[in-house]
Structure 1
């Protein structure tokens, strides 16, 4: 994924991630009747009318974060679903999880990024809600934010391989984000994370 700066590659990545998340959400929507799922601050009362792909396109257009943030956001979502199995991604929470994970990734990865109020506008939520979502997401991750180069390239290689093959498929019995040892939709990588000092926030005018 050395070509992440390419608009064509980013467009393809956004399309693939959208398709993957859509299938995961739809699978978990069906599983809600069979498996108990917690209601969290990420859950909306209704399904958003905007599609996942259009929502990601909106984030890409207005967030102005580095392309790498979308890979790191995906890594964070994978970690979140592994640590919070009772909070699977579904149609009621996927949009809020996306805007939160991208914002957290931008804060961790980029030298310059917007404040929470700006991301709230991009995500179509209030600043207060954005603040709550950020805190819950960080605790849900156990503040495991660092991404080593090895982990980053492993996820990139997986995404690149899958993008070259075919649209992602979801085993109805498996509804998180990984492709682990059993070839189910998981990305369960065990990496040694080195310590990393979070970059200082630069507030930008909304």
Structure 2
């Protein structure tokens, strides 16, 4: 797996992910036609959580104590999950549960030492029973496709870093256009692990 500079890069990754997911959730919330035909899953809450996506990610980062690469892997998992579940769009009712579940699954797959479901449930503000159900549903939604090649990992890192540069104030207009494309693709781009060259082409679009 590619190594990241932990102190400087990790907070930026959290900031970008929260910003991107927030825009996606808000866009899907406003798209009434899409919401009408949207799949209601176990990730869908009855009300919108009062905690912001960024605060929620920061809470996970603070208490989950998982390796930084887990957030990249969780990002890959979210992309795979939404691609396999086209009727389930990320919105403000399900994004928090998707986040805590994806990070937990990533930690279990990536790290030698990780907290159990009960601990992640407390971090995420849900019950242990609910956390268990979310994990099972997420794994089946992924088709248990958990392995990530180094090329895929590096491609997602490169995409995040490029998008973070585009989100700088001087490039606000370019950032808006890029995020508009991201909204249509749920997260970032269609993953194809069979060809790292194709991944790089997609990242360059």
Which range, TM-score by smaller chain? 0.7 to 0.9
| TM-score, with structure 1 as normaliser | 0.85
Q: CA deviation at 1:3?
A: 3.3
2:28/2:34 contact within 8 Å kept = no
Q: Confirm whether residue 191 of structure 1 aligns to residue 201 of structure 2.
A: no
State the SS of the aligned residue for 2:30. helix
Q: Which residue of 2 aligns with 1:182?
A: none
Give me the whole-angstrom Cα distance separating, in 2, the residues matched to 1:175 and 1:161: 17
State the SS of the aligned residue for 1:33. helix
Report runs of 4+ in structure 1 exceeding 6 Å deviation: none
Are residues 175 and 23 of structure 1, via their aligned partners in 2, closer, same or farther at CA, if it must alter by over 3 Å? farther
Q: Which residue of 1 aligns with 2:89?
A: 88
In the alignment, structure 2 segments of 5+ residues that lack a partner are 168-174, 196-205
Q: Which residue of 1 aligns with 2:10?
A: 10
Give me the whole-angstrom Cα distance separating, in 1, the residues matched to 2:194 and 2:150: 10
Q: Superposed, which structure 2 residues align to 1:39-58 within 5 Å?
A: 39-58=40-59
Give me the whole-angstrom Cα distance separating, in 2, the residues matched to 1:173 and 1:72: 20
How many residues of Structure 1 are paired with residues of Structure 2 in the alignment?
A: 184
1:65/1:106 contact within 8 Å kept = yes
Q: Which residue of 2 aligns with 1:151?
A: 152
| TM-score, with structure 2 as normaliser | 0.85
Q: Confirm whether residue 71 of structure 1 aligns to residue 72 of structure 2.
A: yes
Give me the whole-angstrom Cα distance separating, in 1, the residues matched to 2:192 and 2:4: 26
Q: CA deviation at 1:34?
A: 4.1
Give me the whole-angstrom Cα distance separating, in 2, the residues matched to 1:120 and 1:56: 14
Give me the whole-angstrom Cα distance separating, in 2, the residues matched to 1:129 and 1:2: 33
Give me the whole-angstrom Cα distance separating, in 2, the residues matched to 1:169 and 1:136: 28
Q: Which residue of 1 aligns with 2:184?
A: 174
In the alignment, structure 1 segments of 5+ residues that lack a partner are 179-186, 194-206
Larger % of helix: which? 2
Q: CA-to-partner distance for each residue in 1:108-157, whole Å, 9 max, x for gaps?
A: 00000000000000000000000000000000000000001010000001
